Amino acid sequence: MSEPGVPVLSVKDLEVEFDTFGGVVRAVRGVSYDVHAGETLAVVGESGCGKSVTVQALMGLIPMPPGRVVGGSAKLLGQELIGLDQAQLNAVRGADMGMIFQDPMTSLNPTMRVGDQIAETLVVHRGITRDAALKEAVRLLERTRIPEAAQRAKQFPFEFSGGMLQRVMISMSLACTPKLLIADEPTTALDVTIQDQVLELMREIQREDHMAIVLITHDLGVVARMADRVAVMYAGEVVEYGSVDDIFYRAAHPYTQGLKQAMPDMHQHGKDRLEAIPGSPPDLFAPPPGCAYHPRCPHAMQICKHRDPGQYRVGDAHYASCWRLHEEAPAIAAEDSHAG
């Protein structure tokens, strides 16, 4: 059990790079966030912004080489994860930290019955007998509302629908009652009804076990339903961080505002076209100096092009990285207009 006020997961200034034939890709550039017991932190952003690489790095799941963690810290219940060898990571993964992967069909072993795959986790981490593990596997499948769980445990992954496979993944990730659950796009490719059931199941289990959840998604609808706090990522950096109400009602960074404007709004009748964010994300082989968002930003000033904006406090536990939040922003903007 984590101490009161102490985060279950604390990521500080994490940096991850990949060596490729084209050069070094700076995939994660100084990411920091915390998540506490019973809390859901949603990490959002466009594809390629570093959401998944961040959690894969702290779990030791990125191949090294070509990937490497070049800086920063990631602590689970106070234990540093960066630098642990595979044996030490294996003792943590599945026990204190579980993960639901984006595609359950490729994450499960197609040659093993699902009950055996869940039982394997229990045998390794709890040290119980195989028979006891199989019985517990059936109980876990029942907990995730899979009908006829005892019979389904004897079946192979190809005999399950996408929604049922995701329930199997949730059962496996919860086998050892982890303190932290990482869910990487858990509702991708599921229809709306099944998506709703999976999200409600996650919320119910979180309430029962008081576990922390890191939810990686690009779906702001899922964020609105599930999250307590949100980290908005762009070009390998967290550009805004705050409560779910901060992000939806008091968004301070132009990128966050752009994401919101690109969402369909059922209350805005007559809005024929969504407002897409112009341009493309920057090349992380050579990230632009200054604010990475400035080539696409409608409010960009000259200073944005060559100086990093840093992080500014917008409200209580609400932060954003934008020069417009600087206390001398009007003067800076005036200087830019005269220089132009």
Looking at residues 232-256, what average pLDDT do you find?
94
Contact criterion met (CB below 8 Å) for 248 and 260: yes
* Residue 113 pLDDT: 94
* Residue 148 pLDDT: 92
* pLDDT band, very low/low/confident/very high, at 2 (cuts 50, 70, 90): very low
Identify whether 146 is part of a domain: no
Contact criterion met (CB below 8 Å) for 27 and 17: yes
Whole-number CA gyration radius for the chain: 22
Identify whether 253 is part of a domain: yes
Whether 338 has a pLDDT exceeding 60, the answer reads no
Identify whether 258 is part of a domain: yes
Identify whether 313 is part of a domain: yes
Identify whether 89 is part of a domain: no
Query: What pTM was computed for the model?
Result: 0.87
Whether 245 has a pLDDT exceeding 70, the answer reads yes
| Interval 50-89: pLDDT, tens | 899 999 999 888 888 899 999 999 999 889 999 888 888 8
Identify whether 211 is part of a domain: no
Please report, rounded to a whole number, the percentage of residues in the chain having pLDDT higher than 90.
Answer: 43
For residue 330, the enclosing domain spans 237-265+288-339
* Residue 190 pLDDT: 72
* Residue 103 pLDDT: 75
Contact criterion met (CB below 8 Å) for 124 and 87: no
> What type of residue sits at position 124?
V
Q: How many domains does the chain have?
A: 1
* Residue 333 pLDDT: 59
Identify whether 247 is part of a domain: yes
Distance of CA 184 to the CA centre of its chain: 6
Contact criterion met (CB below 8 Å) for 174 and 205: yes
Looking at 23-37, 80-94, 242-256, which range is the least confident one? 80-94
Distance between CA atoms of residues 10 and 214, nearest Å: 11
Q: How many helices (H) and strands (E) does the chain have?
A: 12, 12
Name 73's Cβ contacts closer than 8 Å, sequence gap at least 6.
10, 11, 12, 13, 14, 80, 82
CA angle centred on 71, ends 70 and 75, rounded to 5°: 125
* Residue 169 pLDDT: 86
Looking at residues 35-50, what average pLDDT do you find?
92
The edge-to-edge listing of strands for the beta sheet with 79-80 is 23-35, 9-20, 67-76, 79-80
* pLDDT band, very low/low/confident/very high, at 334 (cuts 50, 70, 90): low
Contact criterion met (CB below 8 Å) for 11 and 49: no
Name 78's Cβ contacts closer than 8 Å, sequence gap at least 6.
6
3-state SS assignment for residue 339: helix
* pLDDT band, very low/low/confident/very high, at 3 (cuts 50, 70, 90): very low
* pLDDT band, very low/low/confident/very high, at 269 (cuts 50, 70, 90): low
| Interval 158-175: pLDDT, tens | 999 888 888 898 888 888
Burial class (CB in 10 A: 0-12, 13-18, 19+), 302: middle
* pLDDT band, very low/low/confident/very high, at 340 (cuts 50, 70, 90): low
Identify whether 167 is part of a domain: no
Bridge-based pairing state of the strands 229-234 and 9-20: unpaired
Name 260's Cβ contacts closer than 8 Å, sequence gap at least 6.
220, 248, 251
Reported in sequence order, the residue ranges of 143-275 that DSSP labels E, i.e. its strands, are 180-184, 212-216, 229-234, 237-243
Whether 26 has a pLDDT exceeding 90, the answer reads yes
Looking at residues 4-32, what average pLDDT do you find?
90
Distance between CA atoms of residues 160 and 21, nearest Å: 40
Cis check: omega of the bond before 66, within 30 degrees of 0: yes
Contact criterion met (CB below 8 Å) for 232 and 247: yes
* pLDDT band, very low/low/confident/very high, at 272 (cuts 50, 70, 90): low
* Residue 1 pLDDT: 39
